[in-house]
Amino acid sequence: MKKFSKQIVASSIFIIVFVSSLLAQPAQTLIDVNIAPEKSDWVYKPNEKAKFNLSVTKNNIPVQNVSVWYEVGPEMMPPLKKENIVLKNGTATIDGGTLKEAGFLRCRVVATYEGKEYAGLATAAFNAEGIRPTTDEPKDFIGFWDEAKAANAKIPMDAKVRLLPERCTEKINVYEVNIQNYKPGTRLFGVLCVPKAAGKYPAILRVPGAGVRPYNGDTGNAEKGVITFEIGIHGIPVTMDASVYDNIRTASLDGYQNYNLDDKDRYYYKRVYLGCVRAVDYIFSLPEFDGNNIVVLGGSQGGALSIVTAALDNRIKGLVAFYPALSDVTGYLHNRAGGWPHFFNAANLSFNNSPQKIETSKYYDVVNFARHLKVPGFYSWGYNDVTCPPTSMYAAYNVITAPKTLFLVEETGHWTYPEQWGMAYEFALNILGK
């Protein structure tokens, strides 16, 4: 296993700036609430006391006599300590206490300046490599997915391809593609980019983060001589006007991640996971594909789908997963953070706490796919993620026995720096021989 931290100089790496609502850096604010653990690597041993250095600044100058409140406790859990203080000189050191077991301790701070609130947080790691999953693998896990894949493979692909002339360039053709998946008559849509020059090319399958939105296709990598296929998961076209997706998001697909969670055979993500395999089928059907070299890449929900696809399909040669969702979702049932979509946290427990839903979750939990990975993977996240808590991600990462590289950027939340994407693309293209 290789591990990198944010201190690594990435100047030698070509950087592709990926613009996305999920992956963008947070907006700057007038007042900065800067907080970090005292230890430079943010790592503590169990029972070791953690302290957090706090400063509230404006124009990089400490704000005098600013009022703040803070809370400290295990990430995503009720705080163990709360306090209101006034920062006479704009700075303070907060005693965060400790954790006795492997996990993450989070300090959240809110400062009030001229009637407005500004927040910051920092998260200290306690033996993250020692975190183990709370979910377990059903005895028929492999059989369940083998049977599902076999049934899906019998459905004709029936590919329909439409050229998108406005998106084509001198080097590539861009198409909207839809293929049959899951049930006869249901479709999976995506944007395919293929180099124009004659030849055989490797491929990248891009799998999406959570939500309902249009897709543009990965034209940047296609122009470098790679077939790219960026898919949606909802069985609807991916090139419509953005307003259409706004309406769908708040109507028929509102809360789709919860649909049929009480039935492993009808749960929403069954068609999604199978759709990722079907997308691989389609790439292998392309005459321009080299027939061998393919990686899968995504973040958040897409990070989960990258791991799932690589575990379900032995044709995948490598994967990239940023802050993978759907990891160790039962963590909340064991008094610690669970992964998105937080089925069993305090807000959702009364609705989802049933034996059927807990059992179904095991067939879709990324942890149980991570156990079966056999190909190299590049992973990246930060400690401050409140969407996909690091406890849940480490629960999956720690069971991976395949070659793995972790690019850790401690201060990040559910967003990335360009350097993270630079290293991810370098990893992927190296596997593809580019």
Annotated catalytic residues are 300, 385, 414
Which residue's entry shows tokens 């009364």? 350
Question: In whole angstroms, what is the distance from residue 296 CA to residue 317 CA?
Answer: 8
Question: In whole angstroms, what is the distance from residue 131 CA to residue 396 CA?
Answer: 9
Question: In whole angstroms, what is the distance from residue 288 CA to residue 106 CA?
Answer: 49
Query: Residue 229 region, left (φ>0) first, then alpha (ψ -120 to 50), else beta?
Result: beta
**DSSP code for 256:** G
Alpha-helical (H) ranges within 237-365 are 242-249, 268-285, 301-312, 349-352, 355-364
Which residue's entry shows tokens 């807000």? 347
Within 8 A by CB and 6+ apart from 377, the residues are 306, 307, 310, 318, 319, 320, 321, 400, 402, 403, 404, 405
Question: In whole angstroms, what is the distance from residue 411 CA to residue 401 CA?
Answer: 27
**DSSP code for 122:** E
- Secondary structure element (H or E) that encloses residue 377, with its range: strand 377-381
**DSSP code for 26:** P
> CB of 297 within 8 A of CB of 392?
no
Instruction: Look at residues 229, 253, 409 and name the one whose alpha carbon lies nearest to residue 305.
Output: 229
CA dihedral of residues 150, 151, 155, 160 (deg, nearest 10) = -70
Q: How would DSSP label each residue in 43-99?
A: EE-TTPPEEEEEEEEETTEEPTTEEEEEEEEETTS--SEEEEEEETTSEEEEEEE--
